[in-house]
Amino acid sequence: MGRRQESWIKESSFYKVIDNEKRIIRCEICERKCVLNEGAYGICRNHANIEGRLYNIAYGILSAIETRPIEIKPLFHYWPNSTALTFSGYGCNFFCPWCQNFHLSQEKPRPYFMRYVPPEELVNTAIKGRSHGLCASFNEPTIHAEYILSVAELAKENNLYFTLVTNGYMSIKALEKFLNAGVNGYSMDIKGCPETYKRHLRANPEVVFRNARYILENEGHVEMVFLIVTGANDSEECIKWVLERHLDTLGEDVPLHINRYYPAYKYHEPPTSYEKLLFAYNYARDIGIKYVYVGNIPEEEYQDTKCPKCGKVLIKRRRARVIYWALDDRKKCPRCGTKVPVYGEFVGYN
């Protein structure tokens, strides 16, 4: 593999040299920390060792670009009712057998046959489409770290917010760079308890909670998403571990989205039972998590924000849009004065 000059090949700063003579390096973008011999690819298939240096070999190779409501990410407490130009690449550092976007996340990037989009073009598309921000989603955005940082710089210059929908398995080094670049909104998956990660992902959920905590401590916004998958993470013990860890690590104010799984990709167990979803919802509320939502079900009232003190409905959402907003100018409940954590501003009805 030789070094080329194509626009989609960009040297990364996220690596360390392990053996200079043998040209062995370690990628430090995510917690996989792949050790790569010369010519080898990382597990994400987006980075490679070329002549003893780490290169992103799919920089700006995008699989989708579309404007979507922020609530669909899901992000309910971040720039409510705004829209984000949402984009994705190919590949992932996880291999979830139930992945809904497997046609993107499990696809190897092939730059000569796929679309290259310069950062300037992407940001200009957001501006022309009157999007309020940008969002990297569908596949794992962390593996496109170099492109994310380039886009984030332009987004900040144009007063556009930037969010990630992520599995949360990035390194602290990468996360620090994201936050400094203005990537301040995170919809972060927690895929289960330690047994779930060990059995299906060969990973560690403590890394996800560590990163979510780091974001909060550095003035970013986090909402956690717990997809309850039949037979993988739906035991009472596993559900309780996730919810209790959420409360202990992130606190009572961080929103939690409990979502229903449907069969996809290589996983064909039945959809999550309502019994499991409601058990998780009620247990989360009982232990003190204030903002708990249930998604991927027809009953949309589980997506409303209620005052944790007096119970008044403060934000009502239907079809991923805000249709009712009762918070006052200080983001407080007009009945009892309880402040509700909302990052950014309600953009109004549209």
Q: What is the pLDDT of residues 225-249, one digit of tens each?
A: 999 999 999 999 999 999 999 999 9
pLDDT at 111: 85
If phi > 0 it is left, if psi is from -120 to 50 it is alpha, else beta; for residue 159 that is left
d(CA 213, CA 217): 6
pLDDT band at 112 (very low <50, low <70, confident <90, very high): confident
Residue 292 contacts by C-beta under 8 Å, 6 or more apart in sequence?
255, 256, 258, 281, 284, 285
Amino acid 145: pLDDT: 98
pLDDT classification of 174: cutoffs 50, 70, 90? very high
**Residue 3 pLDDT > 80:** no
User: What is the mean predicted confidence (pLDDT) over 179-194?
Assistant: 98
Percent of the chain scoring above 90 in pLDDT: 97
CB 174 within 8 A of CB 28: yes
What would the mean pLDDT of 299-320 be, rounded to a whole number? 97
Question: 345 φ, ψ to 5°?
Answer: -120, 155
Cα–Cα distance measured from residue 108 to residue 178, given in angstroms and rounded to the nearest whole number: 24
The CA distance from 302 to 1, in Å, is 52
Given a cut of 90, is residue 264 above it in pLDDT?
A: yes
Domains and CATH numbers, the chain: 10-56 (no CATH), 61-325 (3.20.20.70)
Q: Determine the pLDDT at residue 258.
A: 98
Residues 6+ apart with CB under 8 A from 70: 78, 79, 80, 81, 82, 83, 84, 132, 133, 135, 163
Q: Mean pLDDT in the chain?
A: 96
- How would DSSP label each residue in 85-131? EEEE-S--S---TT-TTHHHHTSPP-GGGSEE--HHHHHHHHHHTT-
User: Over 80: is that where the pLDDT of 167 sits?
Assistant: yes
Alpha helices per DSSP H over the chain:
102-105, 119-128, 145-157, 172-180, 194-196, 205-217, 236-250, 274-287
Q: What is the mean pLDDT of residues 207-215?
A: 98
Angle of helix 145-157 versus helix 119-128 axis, rounded to 10: 40
For range 160-174, the mean pLDDT: 98
Q: Is the pTM of this model over 0.85?
A: yes
Please determine, for residue 4, whether its predicted confidence score (pLDDT) is greater than 60. no
- Over range 124-134, report the average pLDDT: 98
pLDDT of residue 5: 62
The secondary structure of residue 197, as a DSSP letter, is I
Calpha distance 94→82 (Å, rounded): 29
